[in-house]
Chain A
Amino acid sequence: MEERSTTRSVSDAGVPVRRRLRIGDLTLRGGTVAVSLGLVVLLAGLLVVLATGAAPALSQLGLSFFTSRQWDPVTNHFGALPYIYGTLVTSTVALVLALPVSIGLALLLNEVRSKWVRNPLTVLVDLLAAIPSVVYGLWGLFVLAPALNTYLAPFLARTLGKLPVLGALFVPTPAVGNMLNAGVILAVMIVPIITAVTREVIATVPADLREASLALGATRFESIRMAVLPYARSGIVGATMLGLGRALGETIAVSMVIGNGLGISASLLAPGYTIPAVIANEFREATSTGLQHSALLALALVLVVIALVLAGASRLLVRRSERGFR
């Protein structure tokens, strides 16, 4: 008996597929596939172009590019350690400050049932994410930094500055721009992103888990601790990584308040410099004869690789955390 198989499926599952697409279908499908591949090419191109540009500096300077403190266009030697240090310190400060606030806010938005509180709060946090970084920088420079320098910095120097070990972080300096200010501004800027992702994860914790714990007589605090946070943990880690990626790459606001000083100081109250800030400040003035452009492109490459790895890992963590409940 002859059984002719006539299948026409859009699966890529490896079944024998006979496609009879009309010209219009073929055009739209082909067009969208081509454009989508363009996005992949864009990412690849970005990495290739930056790597090509970075190659001279990385090959000539080798490891000293990462370990040397000396960044000098005149002698054509470029060591990025101060920028790497400044970037790590400000991002760490930002995370330390932003994490509790973001997780608290995400839990609050999940706990509060009244839409009269939840909706405005959600909108405000979204708007916080929409403010351009140059506006953060302007405000940081003229409002936040003077306030912090007048009130917070002396206070920290008087109190925490007296402690052993920890005190080194709060040695006062006369500088107007410093790493603490940059960290605070960054913290404000990354709260929305960490909150949004944390919320997304918390929202997938099944309600019956919560209800079961409440039915056992748990208080709200206990039910959050027992039934929400453990399940959201890897998602929160993912949210943190995304926030960290954002903080590492933030340029304009940081460069406006950090003081752009080339030293490596343990004190948060001393000026610093970050990778994005040095790219922004030196790129246009760089001479094309030496290695300076190449060194700056190498910094951009380092930055984007870290940011993309963080984003990718974050996405995988969040997805795994969400899938755990489905």
Chain B
Amino acid sequence: MTARKAASTLFMGALWVAGLVAVIPLVLIVYYVLLKGLPAVHVGFFTQTAPPPGVPGGGMSQAMWGTGLIVGMATLISVPLGVLTAVYLSEFGRGRLAVGVRFVAEILLSTPSIVAGAFIWALVVVAMHSFSALAGAIALTVLMWPIITRATEETLRLVPDELREAALALGVPRWKMVLRIVIPTAGSGILTAVMLAVARGFGETAPILLTSLGNDFLNTNPLQPTDAVPLRIYNYAQSAFPAWQTLAWGGAITLLGAVLVLSIGARLLSDRQQRRLG
């Protein structure tokens, strides 16, 4: 009897250890990013562009604008695509086509991000004879479209059928019911989906590497090679210059900050939405 109890206690203890082990890296990462990144963050970090090798100072402004440009375009493309796909799955989708589309959306979530980069390189960069922010945005779309679709479909399914019926019973055609009742009711849930996708877009390095290439200078032309924060971190981290390494940590703090704010914000929003519709 006591041996069984002891085994159980031991096992539960092991579960707690697993929980602790899983969470420790998060704490350590946030700690070190703050520790090493804060010294790099000053006004010039946000206003200046890349410094020459070995020269201290400089900033990441070109990379921040570039990330904004690339992720902004990717969002503009992937939000309508993702939401419309989700509307199909939740409001019209029946039968084999819907099962197929849902399955494709699910497995596309597992596309390795480097593969999205290689795909868009072969499709867009080769055709346009140039690396560009637009190619980067399309590569990110490959990753963001299924994310938005999945999360939006889930949130559309939270909208009670009673509201759909109420609208139909008022003599409202189905398409208006979807656009004016279902989508607004799911509103903050859709916003959550978009925020999660944008957070993912901010952090992606590999697809940008093969499509946008990077740029030491500020570029606002979507058809030209463009820099991005994660790309800069990647390059600077592997350099031999301490000044560049410091900049990498500064980039990490801005990137991690943006991603965590988006993720936590998305979580709060979705909790509220679930309470409201639950």
Using CB atoms and an 8 Å cutoff, list the residues of chain A in contact with chain B: 10-13, 22, 24-25, 27-29, 31-33, 35-40, 42-43, 45-46, 49-50, 52-53, 100-105, 107-109, 111, 121, 123-128, 130-139, 141-143, 188, 191, 195, 219-222, 224, 242, 245-246, 248-252, 256, 276, 279-280, 283-284, 296-297, 300, 303-304, 307-308, 310-312, 315
Contacts and interface: CB of A to CB of B under 8 A. Distances in A.
A70 B107 CA distance: 33
Interface stretch (B38-46, B84-92, B216-224): B84-92
Interface string B25-60: 110110011001000000000000000000000000
A216 to B, nearest CB: 13
Interface stretch (B68-76, B158-166, B184-192, B198-206): B198-206
Given A138-B237, A219-B4, A311-B106, A105 B22 contact: yes
12 contacts: A28-B179, A40-B104, A104-B17, A123-B264, A125-B23, A130-B259, A131-B256, A138-B233, A221-B7, A251-B113, A297-B122, A304-B112
Contacts of A296: 118
A189 to B, nearest CB: 9
B112 A128 contact: no
Given A28-B178, A40-B101, A132 B111 contact: no
Given A42-B108, A280-B210, 16 more contacts: A22-B173, A31-B84, A36-B101, A46-B116, A105-B18, A105-B22, A130-B260, A132-B204, A195-B22, A219-B7, A221-B4, A242-B110, A280-B206, A284-B213, A296-B118, A315-B103
Contacts of B123: 45, 49
Given A50-B122, A123-B267, A134 B112 contact: no
Contacts of B103: 312, 315
A255 to B, nearest CB: 9
A35 B81 contact: yes
B200 to A, nearest CB: 8
Given A132-B202, A276-B112, A279-B114, A50 B210 contact: no
Contacts, number: 280
Contact of A311 (B109, B115, B176): B109
B248 interface: yes
With most chain A CB atoms within 10 A of its CB, the pick from B15, B100, B115, B116 is B115
A143 B32 contact: yes
Interface residues of B, number: 95
Nearest to B202: A132
Contacts of A125: 22-23
Contacts of B256: 131-132, 135
Contacts of A33: 88, 92, 97
With most chain A CB atoms within 10 A of its CB, the pick from B23, B149, B259, B264 is B23
A248 B113 CA distance: 11
Contact of B23 (A42, A124, A242, A312): A124
Contacts of B22: 101-102, 105, 124-125, 128, 191, 195
B111 A304 contact: yes
A103 B18 CA distance: 8
A17 to B, nearest CB: 12
B268 to A, nearest CB: 10
B11 interface: yes
Given A132-B205, A284-B209, A300-B114, A139 B234 contact: no
A135 B81 contact: no
